[in-house]
Structure 1
Amino acid sequence: MNRKLSIGAYQFFSIIFLFEMGSATLVGLAAGAMQDAWISVLIALGSGCLIFCIYIKLFEMYPEIPFTKYIQSILGKFTGKILAMIYILYFIYIGARVLRDFEELLVITLYNASSLISIGILLMFLVMYAIFKGFEVFGRACELLFVLTIIITTTIIGFEMIAGLIKIDNLRPVLEVGWKKILMETYPLAVTFPFGEMVVFTMLLPNLKKPDYAWKIGIPGLIFVGLVLTLITMLNICVLGANTLQRATYPILTSVSYINIADFIQRLDSVLVVIMVIGGFIKIAVFFFCAVIGAGDLFKIKKADTLTYPIALIMLVCSVWMAPDYLEHYKEGLDIVPYFLHIPLQILIPLVLLVIALIQNKAKTKENAA
């Protein structure tokens, strides 16, 4: 794990796509905007790209070191280490939240007799195995899983069209809820989840084969997955209608469960669960990996692999204990996490760090000129 990683262009694109799709497909993004939810997702995509530009600018100023290390260069060792530790805990916590999402999904849909902890143990063993095999192997697996996800998603959309489930009229009237409601659904919820979670990629950008992949692959990758999420949101509205979309626990599963072609092609929601778990696995693994390398660097541990077991245990226990039930877990994700964690750690602190770094660089340039 400590050897120099090298992430290629296609691998980087695939990881971004699967990471962003991850748990974003589980919930109805901006469902409060009713049939205008897709507009909120599009606006959130634009804002997410601007936020990612902040991360890239920081990376360009410190291309050789991860986020948790150049924080210390910008703010000084004492303050920088405290903030780096906060980000490591943040990665662990958000990884645990994603793990809880998929524990709940599998228990509700496929494994009703299983417990959350048993599902969580299996998922964490899978993530640990992927990390132990090395991030290069993980990246190559993402290439294959990306193709598989695209094929199955396209096939399911085709079946929805053949089954005559898509009713364009459900998207009308446009802007019925007004711009105020659309923007309220966009900020901060749809921006911070899933687009703002790209903050974790500040740990991976130094490992790109070519630094310019951050602009050439990162931004197009983010735009592509944002458009796919917009399309999925529109399809969910077309199939379910705005009212059902708002009430459904897992809108995409509900819409896919309606597919019935000649009483032969049906129950495709089970297939979709597999694809969704793949995205969840990738997302948990990225958060887990970045927490491990961040902690290893912060505490000067020569073999960061030794941190795999304790961090995996913390993430697993946290996923089960963070909320007594799914409703409480969902409520925390809407009312607490975006305001107290996402906004400061995804937007405010990186923006402040960029401003300080630019001022420091300008001061150094004047000193050298003098």
Structure 2
Amino acid sequence: MQKISSYQLFVITFIFQLGTTVIFGFGGSAGKDAWIGQLVSMCLGLIVILLYTTLMKMNPGKTLVEWFPAQFGRFIGIPISFLYSLLFLYHVGRGLADIRDMISTTILFNTPFLIIEGVFIIIIAYCVYGGIELVARLGEMIFPLVLVMFCIQAIFLYLTGVLHINNLLPVLENGWKPIWNVAFPGGITEPFGEAIVFCMFWPDTNRPEKIVKVTILATLLSGMMITFWDMLAIAVFGSMFSHFLYPLYTLLGMISIGDFIENLQIFGILYLFMTAIIKILINMLGALKGFQQLFHLKNNRALIIPSSIIALILGMTMSKNISEHVYFTHMKILVPYIWFPMFIILPAILLIVTWFRQKVLKIK
């Protein structure tokens, strides 16, 4: 069985939670208070993470797809677990669509979608053959690059002289309602609720006693970084921040130092590549491990190619363009009707049932 260290768990959790959130800036509907919305989302997200880790402690040595059959019985639990595996696979296709849309609207305008997604799914399938250890080592390589790029870009923006702190004022201009609309349910489901996929890998950690600590630290760091990027974007663009589909990409285009250091939008593309690839790989591995355990297979290698083809088809067909992908599929369907029930409601019900069985009925 492959094992990952607590540090590797920390870095892949951090990068996973950055994902595409730092690129898209989903808090834009709160206007100048988007950064507060992200802070509130992070605080609520910590509660969600604690929900997952509590379930882990109550079901030691089991993965997410084993929790539900253990507590609900096979007749109810297995179909629910199968839905989670399907959801993780859907997230792979969604991640491919995110990459497709950004690349096709920024740097490769006339490149067919099939070519873009096809190249990435080949890379993903290759990496998946190496398992969670390979992905964890890849995360170790990406983690310092993300931090260094983040610091350099923040410094360059300051030196360019485009930051205007007054753009952040007045705070709470429109009250708490827009902030709450950002945080609930969208802000807690993405990226924090999506981290439920790590319940598939917590039993593979060589220091299980540190899982809660490193997961909370990773959540705090990713939440603070997303918040800081929102503050930078608002300090530069003010109320216009909410009108940009890719705020980070647009923000990096504002850097200009001595007519020498400029046109750094490529860093935004690199951010997407590094964080999205880790997120896609984790979801793919989570889906494959779920199917493997549900079908009682010795390994998941036979499932990699079929799952990759399904993910490619999903990525090609789930939306016609970026607006439909983000503003309709994501906001109107995924968040309220799929993510919130599966990331929040079902785990909460599972926690209640598990507590009742273990504490009242004394069933282990």
Amino acid across the alignment from 1:358: W
- The residue that corresponds to 2:320 in the other structure is 324
The residue aligned with 2:257 is: 261
Q: Note if contact 2:252-2:267 (Cα within 8 Å) is conserved in structure 1.
A: no
The aligned amino acid for 1:12 is: L
Mapping for residues 1-370 of structure 1, pairs under 5 Å: 4-242=1-239, 244-330=240-326, 331-365=328-362
Tell me which amino acid in the other structure corresponds to 1:310: P
Q: Give per-residue Cα distances to partners, 1:274-298, cap 9 Å, x unaligned.
A: 1221100000000000000000110
CA contact (8 A) 2:78 2:294 kept: yes
Q: Kindly report the root-mean-square deviation, in angstroms, between the aligned alpha carbons of the 2 structures.
A: 1.3
Identity value in percent = 28
Deviations 1:111-157 (A, max 9, x none): 11212221111111111111112321221121111001111111111
The CA distance in 2 between the partners of 1:224 and 1:25, in whole Å, is 13
Residue by residue, what CA displacement relative to the aligned partner does 1:287-339 show, whole Å, maximum 9, x if unpaired? 00000000011011222111011111111100110112221111211111100
Amino acid corresponding to residue 324 of structure 1 in structure 2: K
Amino acid at match of 2:138: A
Report if the CA contact (8 A) 1:38-1:230 is conserved. yes
Residue 364 of structure 1 and its aligned partner are, at CA, apart by 4.4
Distance 1:202 1:133 in 2: 19
- Please list the CA deviations of residues 162-204 of structure 1 after superposition, one character each: whole Å capped at 9, or x if unmatched: 1011110110000001012211221111111111111111111
**Cα distance per residue 1:238-274 (max 9 Å; x no partner):** 11112x2111110111111011111110111113211
Q: Per the alignment, in what secondary structure is the counterpart of residue 300 of structure 1? A: coil
- Aligned residue pairs, count: 363
Contact 1:44 1:190 in 2 (8 A): yes
Q: TM-score, normalised by structure 2?
A: 0.97
Residue identity opposite 2:125 in structure 1: M
Runs of 4+ in 1 over 2 A off after TM superposition: none
Tell me, in whole angstroms, the C-alpha distance in 2 between the residues paired with 1:164 and 1:324.
39
Structure 2: 5+ residue runs without aligned partners? none
Moved more, 282-291 or 58-67: 58-67
Report if aligned partners of 1:63, 1:211 keep a CA contact under 8 Å in 2.
no
